[in-house]
Structure formats: C-alpha cells, structure tokens
Chain A
C-alpha cells in the first residue's frame, strides 16, 4: 500500500507542475584552474547575489543550478589564490558555461584562508565540538560507515565479528543509546537490522559529522553523550556511479548512486542502492573446542566460522521537485531493504550455534521538505517524516548443540539452540522532525525543533499462536522540543538552548484472578517529562586559531525495547527513568599555513562528563532474563587530539589519539553504608587509550595525463584494558593491546574508473573487540568504481 501511494503522490506532484507556472532557472557550470591550466579542487564559487554556491570537484569543475534570471555577481576563491569577482547577466541561455582562472597569491594569505574554506571546515567552525570526516576521500575504499567512523578521534567502534555483525560505538566513552545516529538530520533510531552503520557503505555519504558532547538542537534528539550525522551525497546534476568489490571470505559489495534532475521542471529522482554479502568464514585462532559429548576441551585449535553468512540489500529512492517557489526540496521516498544473518556465537565464544538465524526487512516511506525564506527572508523550514513498517524475525527451531568443529548432537523433541522461537514482530516506528529557523539582522538566529517518535510493537510467534501476550499494547510516544538562540559576531558565536524531553508509555498490566487461568488486563499509561539546557561558545582569536566551550545538562530517554523487552532474552522495565548527564567541553583548532604548499590543522579537545542513573542490564529476579535498570554513576575526564598535515595535493599525514578516564562514581551501592570497593575505579571492559595514524600519497599524471595513483596506509591502535574492575583480583582477564595495519592502493583512470586493492590487518594479528570474540584476520579486497556520468 505504502509503495503504491508514494508512486501515486509522486506522479501527482509531477503532473501538477506545469512549466509555465514556475519561473525558469539557470544553471551555471564551468572549471576553475590556475595559470598553468591545472584544476583547483576545493575552490569556492559563490553567487553573492543569491546566497548560493558550490565547491569545485577534484577536476576543478563546478555546477550551480536554480539561479534566477537577472544579473549575478560571482566570487571565486581558494586558499593560496587571489579571489576574483565577476558579474554575469543571466537570461539568454538556460545553461551558462563560465570558466575561471585564479592567480596564485603569495601575500594576504589570511584573507583567503577564511573564504577558501571547505564545507568540512565550515562545519568544524561551528560552536559545537564536532569532528568531520570527509567521506568522499574514502569512496575508493570498501569501508563501511562504522569503520570510517572508527578513524575519528574519540570514537571507538566495537564489533562482535565480520560483515553484518553486532556493533556498538562510543563517543568519548559514551556508548549504546547514549549516542545517537542521524542521516541527513533524521534520527536513525530503530531502523532495524537491515540498516546499520556497519552495513552501509561509505560511498553513500558525502561527509560524516561527529558531535562530541553537546549536540545542536537542529538534531533534536535525546543524545546524551554525542551524535553522528551522516550527510548523504547530494548531487546537483545528473549523476550515475557504480562500484563493486570482491574480497576475502567471499565478500561482495555493490553500490549504485544515481540522480536525475529534469532540466526544466526541477523534477528529480535519487537512488542509492547497495548490497553486502559475506560468508564471514574467517579463521579463529586458539579456540578451545569442546567435545560434543563429554565437554572436554581440545586446546588451541584453529577453526573456521561455519555459520556466519550475512547479506543485505537496500535501496533508498527519493522523488520530487527541487528549486520551486513553494519548496527548495520536496521529496517523497522510500527505503526498502532486507537482511539475513546467521548467528555463529553467543556473547561468549563458547556458545556456538549452527542453525539459529535472524532476518528482517525495512519498508520505510519518507517525506522531506525544505524551504528557505518562507514568507519572509530568513525564515527557513525543514520537515522530515518517515515510518518504518519493517519486521524482524528470530528463527531458532532446531534443537541441537554445536561445537566449533561443526559437530552437533540433536535432541528429538522440539526446541531451539538458544530459545525455541519463530517470533516475528514489527515495531511500527514513526519519526517526524520539524525545524524552524529565523535569522534576523544578519547576526541573530532563533530556532525551534520538534522531534516526535512513535512506537507500536505488534508481534506473533507461530509456534505459540494463542499467546495473548503478543496482543497487549506496547506503545510509546517520545517528543523532544528544543528552542535555541544563536548570535554570530565578527569573531565569535554564542548559542543557548533549552530542550523538553517527554515520554508516554502505554502497556498492559496483567493481574491473575481467582479461578482457573483467569486474568485481568488493565491498560496503563506512564509519562515523564524532563528539562535540559545548554550553551555553546566559539571565538576566533585570529583567523587561524579558534576556541570552543560548551556545557549541557541532557537526558537520554529509555528505549522502547528497554521498556517493553524483546520477548526473547530481555524483560521489560516499564519504570525506567531517563539517564542524565552534565557535559563540559573545551576545544581549540589551529590552522597553520606556512606557505601555499603546506597546510597543518591541529585540534585539541578536553571534556568532562558526569552521568547519573545509567541504564544498564542486570539479571531479573529469578535470573532467567536480562532486565534494564537505572544503575550507577560515572565521571569521565578526557582529551583527544588530532594533527593533520598536507603537502600540495599529494601528501597527507594525519594522526589522532584519545584518552578517556572513565571512573565509577557510585560511592555507596544501594543498601550499603560503606564506600564501594570499586568507587573511583576505572570502568572495566572499555578502551581508554586508542588512536589512529594515516598517511596517503597521490601520484599525479602517472604514465599518462589523467592517470593518478593513490597509496594510503592506516594504523589502528588500542591500548590493553581489563575485562573486569581493574582494582580487583590478582589473576585477571584482559583484552590485549591491539595494533592493525591497513594498506589501500587506488588507481584512477581519467576519473571515470577507479581500481582499488585493499589489504586489512596485514600482519594477521588476532583482533578482539569484545572479549574472546575474534574479528577477521588478514583480508584482501579488490574494488572497481565506474563514474558513468
């Protein structure tokens, strides 16, 4: 039904768009080169009169569409070049070609540095503590978004295995649902297993913004410790590229990015489609394999994973119009996808499965509306809405016990490997986010953001069709409203904001009555509401040195599955309270340009967090299931630093390191009057010192003009850490130090073709993210990418 309605609505919009009604717009495109006709990538082309612009691509090419008829002033600037301005009269032709030649400047660098900044730097200059990954430079790799994030300072991604495995990531020590993920500003809450960061290729993204601590209210969610906002590719012109990679463990990945913009009507269709498949049959070393009958261990075996196939297929389609008087963007779309995952192990390596699997899909219609200068200049409106009607199913119907040799014993009666189940459920999650922003007198902006999440779980298990429990309401409504004010001064920015967090949960209380199997059902509603607030400041001491400070008192609301359980291993706790955290951040950025060929950027951030009422798992009363509860308090004092150096367009060297001192701040455990033995101890099972190093070199015009080769080396380091409280015991378990080396070689052929060979974990070290669950050893991948137009 949903798919059909999207098509119909899109078609109606298309029909209701007679060309005469709408003012005609003009597209300007061309190249930016230096005196020697070499392209200048990253040059900024600004239409001064229309407050729009573009950044020149790797070939120095740019396109700006949607310009009104009439005179236009264009300003072109780039670091190390003199800025030029040119007046154009637009009107005669719908397509105008305008090439610019910039003169190198040896003086007056300071002025150019500000105007020549990239989008990446513009984001970094916001008052918030934000790290930005320029995803485009990673497009030649076979990385997924999670592994791209893992290269950012302060961010740690942890996985339980290979492609499609369970992952969680932390920002400055905050983890799980304390940090939130957004795609183009839309919260990615509970999108289901078909849409996870570690199965979305990096080629989908243009850049990734990582907010540490305080999150701007435009991302109106209940992120407590930070947020990741993935900005997807938005091409302003027709585009089609396809890439395919094949690698170790029978891993196939395909990505298609396509966009069509109708020249006259502004009708546009965007398609992002991707596919991942992997057998994940990598070797595990030093495994103690239990005899299937006696339980005796065969020591230190090397075994191959035998039940870990994963695949997903996802397409994101958006259709609509751009650059209309009533909308800058009005897009209706859908995310459609499915996934299948075999489950090889439990939380511990000793739990081996051979049949248990999960599958799910995503059917998510969405609406995107953007209009700037609505009614009056400076009033910008953005509305996004989506609804996920996809399902998840847990399939565990084979009553066997496996060991790591793949041997099993089978029991005759019905049962499962973990829990006998065919439980299938839909969470029916809807998200609507509306954003109003009004900028007045150039320097003042007020903003109002509202995010509404709804959840309504419906599930059934065909093994147990009469179970009325599945018919009880499991609904929740979450609303977060943020209001903020920002002042932008000459050299400083300041913003203050307040947020209201509201949650309403509907559920059934079952009471057993006197008599034989008699129950009474009472529908019950729980609500709570909390107020958070914060401020963020930034100050340019001079053009090359910026300081930032921010503070926030924020909340993280309980998740639906934490309130209602998953009906498998997790019991619900309807009385969970929100987590609360006070975050303080102090950061600085330096840009150093000794001359036009050398660029250095240094970022240093320090932070302090104090979080209370952590939502953490514990065993329920009779120790059968896990239940989430508000437990404990922690503080976190940390620092992360990043240095980046670039020589011309050829060499770049970067490194980052993060240290976080997460300490248990629960002085008295419930019911105790003596100080806890682990008060002020370091939080266990959490990496606290880790870093990344990266060096890349590009050979230009190799052998022939237009042929380039890029070679990149990446180093990952994680300091050893303890699995349990560091102060306790003398004979302890630890997760050893980890060091892994990746090498990527890419050959570009006239920017039409890219050929990449990639080696990950070259020294074939045993890598662990979660205790005893090994990740893949050395692997190789080949990738081809073709830019069709």
Chain B
C-alpha cells in the first residue's frame, strides 16, 4: 500500500497529506511482496518530424541495460500524450488541442505485462494530478473571449468522469485590466487542492503577457466539492510554477514549498524583469505563506529554477537554467541540482551529461522517485541518445543507467500487479 501511495505522490504531484491520512486510517498489513510483480513503465517517443506516436515499454531495471521502440512497445494513438499513475493504474491521456480524446488505462497483469483496462473519453487538459481516489484534470483557457476553466474528476476505480464544473478565471484573478488566472498545476493536500496561477492578458494582442509580474497567487479549493476557499498571495516572488509545470510540493510535515521560476512575460513571449527566482513556504499550521525565503538565484550563482522533483526529507532535485541565457518562459533548463530547504543548501549534481549537449529532458512530474526517496530517476536525451540517470540524493552524484534507443523518454512510471486481496 505504501508503495502505491508513494507512486501517486511521485508520478503526479505531491499529495502527502492524504497519503498520511490514509495510512493512519488503515495501518498497512504485510505487503504481499513475493506474489506481486512490479515493472517500470517507460514511455518513449521516436525523434522525427511527423507521424510520431509514443510507445509504452516495460523494464525491470532503470539502472542498466537498453530498450528500443523498434518493433517493441504499445503504440499510443495521437502524437501528444500525457501520463499519470493513480491507484496503481497507468493513464495515457491524449492532448487533443481542445478536442476530447480517449484516455487509455492500463494495469499490470500477473505475467508483468501491461493489460488494457479500459478507455474512456476525456477533455484535453493542461493540468492533472491524482487527488484521493480521483485524478483531477483542468482544461484551462488562454483566451479572454471565453474566460472559463473547466475541471473534471476522473474516478480511478470506475474510470469515468464523476464530477465536473467550471471556474471563471477572470473573476478569480480579479485584475483591473481583466487578466485571467492560468493555473500552472494542481497540488493536493488533505481535503483541499492548491492551484498556483499566473495571470495573462489572454487577448490576441496581449497574449501570454502580464502587467502583474511581481506577485505569487495560489487559489485554494475544497475537494471533492471544488468550492473556492481563498487565494494565498505573496509579494516576495513572481508566480509559482510555470506553464504545464508543478510549482508547489508539500513535505512530510505538511509544509508546502513554492517555487517561482521568475518568468513572467510580455505579449511577445519575452521574459520581463521580476523578483528573483526563489522558494517560499506555506505553513502547515497557519495555511498561509510564512517568512521562509530561499533565493535560488543567489544560491546557484545566477540560475532560475525551471522545475523540481521532491525526493523527501526536505530535499528536491531542481532543474536549473542560467538566467542570462533565459529567452522564453517555456523552460529549457538542462542543469540539475539538489536543493535542501531544511538547511537552505544548494548543490550541483555531478555525473550528468554536459548541459550543452542535452536536447530534451523528461518533464519533472514524469520522472520517478525511489520508494525510500534516496534516488531520483531522470530521463535525459543528448545529441548521442537517451538514458535514465539515477541521481543519488545524499551524494548529489548521478549515474548513467538504462539506455532508450531512438527516442525521447516522455515518462518514467512504476506499476505492480494489484494485490489479490484488494
């Protein structure tokens, strides 16, 4: 059980609160380790300019060996797909450019093979995360003509949409010039979901630009009701998270660490000056921002954070980008560091490829963290190929592992055969 919950945490966003709750309610019995088969699920996308599909592959070991998509793997329909694991099920979602598409669900059978559970139809969404027994997805608009975000709760047992609703993002942002709130990601905690957002003009001229670059906002909703509770605001950083990127993670104590990439932009998609890239904190006790502040630009010597992966015990793997080379708000960092928020330390990770040769990295929420939090597995594509690197959190040293031939690693997940007593 614990393993399953960890998976939920690590593959999607963070949800430690609900995890601990569940554990408190149901003390985990003996894990049926011998009977259970487990596999790592790698999704890979061949690098080509057209006709590209993702392939789902299974492997036993991320530290060594080689796999290829050539003549191997389950083809995923539709070029752009996103993945999330919830309730020990693997969800493959189509990014359909605003149109609905099929979500395909797999689980592992007794032979360690992926078995198609079901598929059902869902909307194209720009944020998704496992929340309790559901996967909460949000379709977010970048257009002021139609300033509504639509949310859908997909139940991981029934594999259907069980609840839906809409949020007026113009009202939520409450700006004089009518800017819209655009949620960067979803972070659940207890009976709430935290939706950090940035504001955009959303007009055809203003586009993704903002006149409010120097503020951080997090909308808080109850779950599963999705009733608006409050907006947490802070003026020490720019917004939390980034487009399609998680910016808030809760630790084991229930404190939330909020990462600002410092990338507000104007209508030409140019990054505009703002406050330094930094980490702030939402206190477990007060439920609001406290005085914690860790300036990442200072600690790293001029880098901003693109994305982060929470390993555990206050330690994060951060993907960093040199601020002087920052040209867009859409990411592109290739340097990795260990950030310890308890001790406010920053340490570059050794053993990774030369950052200038890296052409693609696996998105933060699609990387994988070992059960004990000691190792983070990150997918990296360089000019010469793709590998899974295992990052040892304690020593900040990385080792080249599994080679994925011919394609980018789009996600690393883990499944086990459902226990027979469930």
**Chain A residues within CB distance 8 Å of chain B:** 288, 290-291, 293-297, 346-348, 350-351, 399, 401, 411, 413-416, 418-420, 463-464, 467-469, 510-512, 516-517, 519, 567, 569, 614, 616, 618-619, 621-626, 631-632, 664, 666, 669, 671-674, 676-678, 683-685, 723-725, 727-733
Contact = CB atoms under 8 A, between A and B. Distances in A.
B64 interface: no
Classify chain B: how many residues form its interface, as a range: 35 or more
Interface stretch (B9-17, B115-123, B294-302): B115-123
Nearest to A346: B99
Most buried by B among A624, A626, A724: A724
B394 interface: no
A347 B99 contact: yes
Contact of B96 (A351, A411, A463): A351
B314 interface: no
Interface string B51-74: 111010000000000001111111
Given A294-B161, A685-B51, A731 B73 contact: yes
Contact of A672 (B152, B204, B359): B359
A350 B330 CA distance: 30
Contact of B53 (A569, A671, A729): A729
A295 B145 contact: no
A196 to B, nearest CB: 23
Interface of B: 46-53, 55, 68-75, 77-78, 80, 95-103, 119-122, 142-143, 145-146, 148, 150, 152, 154, 158-162, 164, 166, 168, 177, 201, 203-206, 208-209, 211, 243-244, 266-270, 328, 330, 359, 383-385, 405-407
Contacts of B101: 348, 350-351
Contacts of B328: 621
8 contacts: A296-B120, A297-B120, A411-B148, A467-B205, A519-B205, A625-B97, A672-B384, A729-B73
B95 A728 contact: no
B181 to A, nearest CB: 15
B146 A415 contact: yes
A469 B204 CA distance: 7
A420 B143 contact: yes
B209 A512 contact: yes
Contacts of B384: 672-674
A561 B320 CA distance: 38
B205 A469 contact: yes
B46 A677 contact: yes
A-B complex: 3 closest residue pairs judged by Cβ atoms: A677-B406, A631-B49, A290-B121
Contacts, number: 202
A512 B266 contact: yes
Task: Report whether over half of chain A's contact residues are helix, strand or loop; otherwise say mixed.
Answer: loop
B166 A413 contact: yes
B73 A413 contact: no
Contact of B267 (A293, A464, A512, A672): A512
Nearest to B268: A512
Given A516-B177, A728-B70, A733-B75, A676 B47 contact: yes
B96 A731 contact: no
Contacts of B73: 728-731
Query: Which of A674, A676, A728 counts the most B-chain CB atoms under 10 A from its CB?
Result: A728
A725 B122 CA distance: 26
B405 to A, nearest CB: 7
B69 A295 contact: no
Contacts of A723: 51, 53, 77
A677 B122 contact: no
Contacts of B102: 288, 350
Contacts of A727: 70-71
A418 B50 contact: no
A458 B384 CA distance: 47
Contacts of B78: 348
Contacts of B77: 723, 733
B122 A295 contact: yes
Nearest to B74: A731
Contacts of B206: 517
Contacts of B270: 512
Nearest to B406: A677
A399 B168 CA distance: 15
Nearest to B155: A294
A303 B82 CA distance: 30
A348 B99 contact: yes
A297 B75 contact: no
Contacts of A416: 146
Contact of B51 (A288, A510, A676, A725): A725
B75 A621 contact: no
B407 to A, nearest CB: 6
Nearest to B69: A728
A623 B95 contact: yes
B50 A616 contact: yes
A666 B75 contact: no
A672 B383 CA distance: 4
Contact of A731 (B75, B99, B122, B145): B75
A335 B40 CA distance: 63
B266 to A, nearest CB: 4
Contacts of A674: 383-385
Contact of B204 (A347, A464, A618): A464
Contacts of A516: 177, 211
Contacts of B205: 467-469, 510, 517, 519
A724 B267 contact: no
Given A622-B330, A685-B51, 17 more contacts: A291-B160, A295-B154, A295-B160, A296-B120, A348-B99, A350-B99, A416-B146, A418-B99, A519-B267, A622-B243, A631-B49, A632-B49, A672-B47, A674-B384, A677-B70, A728-B406, A729-B55
A467 B75 contact: no
A463 B96 CA distance: 25
Contact of B121 (A295, A464, A614, A728): A295
Contacts of A724: 51-53, 75
Contacts of B72: 729-730
A134 to B, nearest CB: 37
Contacts of B74: 729-731
Contacts of B266: 512
A580 to B, nearest CB: 16
A511 B268 contact: yes
Given A294-B160, A672-B383, A728-B73, A351 B99 contact: yes
Contacts of B158: 294, 296
A510 B269 CA distance: 11
A671 B359 contact: yes
Given A295-B122, A516-B177, A728 B53 contact: yes
A414 B146 contact: yes
A467 B204 CA distance: 7
B160 A616 contact: no
Contacts of A618: 49
A427 B55 CA distance: 42
Contacts of A632: 48-50
Contacts of B166: 411, 413
A666 B52 contact: no
B96 A348 contact: yes
B416 to A, nearest CB: 21
A511 B266 CA distance: 9
Nearest to A734: B75
Contacts of A511: 268
Contacts of A411: 148, 150, 166
Given A622-B208, A622-B243, A678 B46 contact: yes
A624 B125 CA distance: 11
Nearest to A413: B148
Given A467-B203, A672-B47, A724-B53, A732 B97 contact: no
A293 B80 contact: no
Contacts of B53: 723-725, 728-729, 733
Contact of A725 (B48, B154, B269): B48
Given A290-B120, A295-B122, A469-B205, A621 B330 contact: yes
A631 to B, nearest CB: 3
